[in-house]
């Protein structure tokens, strides 16, 4: 039986809140066992869109610089086994408990992030809070040791870096990093070849959808821009969206004159 995210969240939220007195005492006890030169740090990023993850890269960069560790030691994907499903989510919380983290940073204003941070047993748990909080956040924010308010208009990557003041990182430059793998290069080459796009073509990527309707620019305007680029510069337009946005991408593609477009699901 498949359980949707709200059911999994509230089921384990109830269990963890019941166990919170013990978990909070356990986390406090672990303060005396901090590893100052090589702490174990849990970073919980936003994974809604690629741009959200790119905005989090300055956090990983500064942690690597301070502690001379060039790699992420473990990448936990909650959408894959063994952490999928209702019981898989329980395995996730137990997995974090066994790791013995020293610090936990929840970048998004997420009540789920608060539960993950608590289950990590990190003595220091820092989380972003927005001015308007959901009821679930209000019920779980107190599980963190420090809340960092996000101010309207604040540069988000810069705000994320402010969370790291707990580990003595401050005044760092906001440097967003994106690295290209050999596998990624191969997939891009195959995609371009399959759509008849050569290395000499002027290529423009357009992402017509966003994580929120409020952030979206009307598709009609994107279509005008795409047509102008194609007419003036003979541009090839690649429509970039996730697999779930294929229908919207198809609608947008139909609004563009000519056939010099391709859809890339990322």
For the stretch 160-205, pLDDT in tens is 999 999 999 988 889 888 888 899 899 989 988 888 888 888 888 8
27 & 110 share domain: yes
How far apart are alpha carbons 246 and 169 in whole angstroms?
41
Token readout for 26 is 């356990």
Shared-domain flag, residues 34 and 62: yes
- Which of 116, 138, 167 is the last residue in one of the domains? 167
Considering only CA atoms, which of 169, 12, 38, 173 is closest in space to residue 93?
A: 12
Concatenated DSSP letters for 61-103? HHHHHHHT--S-S----TTSTTS-HHHHHHHHHHHHHHH--SE
Same structural domain, 82 and 128: yes
Predicted TM-score (pTM) of the model is 0.79
Same domain membership, residue 221 and residue 157: no
Note whether 203 and 232 are same-domain residues: yes
Same domain, yes or no: 256 and 159: no
Whether 119 has a pLDDT exceeding 80, the answer reads yes
Residues 147 and 208 occupy one common structural domain:
no
Question: Where is the domain boundary, 120, 142, 167?
Answer: 167
Average pLDDT over residues 237-259: 79
How many other CB atoms sit within 10 Å of the CB of residue 106? 28
Per-residue tokens: 204: 């423009």
- Which of 109, 144, 167 marks a domain boundary? 167
Q: Is residue 173 part of a domain?
A: no
Report the number of distinct structural domains present in the chain: 2
On whether both 139 and 192 belong to a single domain, the answer is no
- Same domain, yes or no: 20 and 95: yes
Q: Are residues 108 and 206 in the same domain?
A: no
Q: What SS3 state is found at 46?
A: coil
Clarify whether residues 157 and 205 are in a common domain.
no
Q: pLDDT by residue (tens digit) across 12-35?
A: 999 999 999 999 999 999 998 888
Of how many residues is the chain composed? 266
The domain in which residue 230 lies consists of: 182-265
CATH of the domain at 187: 3.40.50.2000
Task: Identify whether residues 32 and 107 lie together within a single domain.
Answer: yes
Per-residue pLDDT tens digits for 236-246: 888 887 777 77
């Amino acid at each position: 039986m498949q359980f949707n995210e709200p059911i999994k969240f509230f089921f384990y939220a109830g269990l963890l809140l019941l166990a919170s007195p013990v978990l909070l005492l356990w986390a406090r006890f672990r303060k005396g066992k901090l590893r100052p030169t090589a702490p174990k740090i849990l970073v919980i990023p936003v994974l809604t869109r690629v741009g959200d993850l790119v905005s989090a890269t300055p956090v990983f960069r500064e942690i690597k610089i301070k502690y001379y560790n060039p790699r992420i030691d473990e990448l936990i994907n909650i959408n894959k086994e063994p952490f999928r499903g209702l019981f898989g989510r329980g395995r996730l919380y137990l997995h974090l408990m066994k790791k013995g983290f020293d610090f936990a940073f929840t970048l998004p204003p997420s009540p789920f992030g608060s539960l993950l941070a608590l289950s990590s047993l990190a003595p220091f748990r820092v989380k972003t809070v927005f001015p308007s909080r959901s009821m679930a956040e209000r019920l779980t924010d107190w599980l963190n040791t420090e809340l960092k308010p996000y101010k309207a208009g604040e540069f988000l990557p810069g705000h994320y870096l402010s969370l790291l003041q707990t580990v003595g990182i401050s005044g760092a430059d906001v440097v967003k990093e994106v690295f290209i793998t050999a596998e990624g290069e191969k997939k891009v080459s195959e995609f371009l070849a399959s759509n008849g796009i050569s290395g000499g073509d002027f290529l423009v990527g357009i992402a017509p959808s966003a994580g929120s309707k409020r952030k979206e620019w009307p598709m009609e305007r994107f279509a005008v821009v795409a047509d102008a680029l194609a007419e003036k510069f003979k541009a090839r337009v690649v429509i970039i969206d996730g697999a779930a946005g294929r229908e919207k991408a198809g609608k947008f593609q139909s609004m563009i004159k000519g056939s010099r477009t391709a859809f890339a699901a990322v």
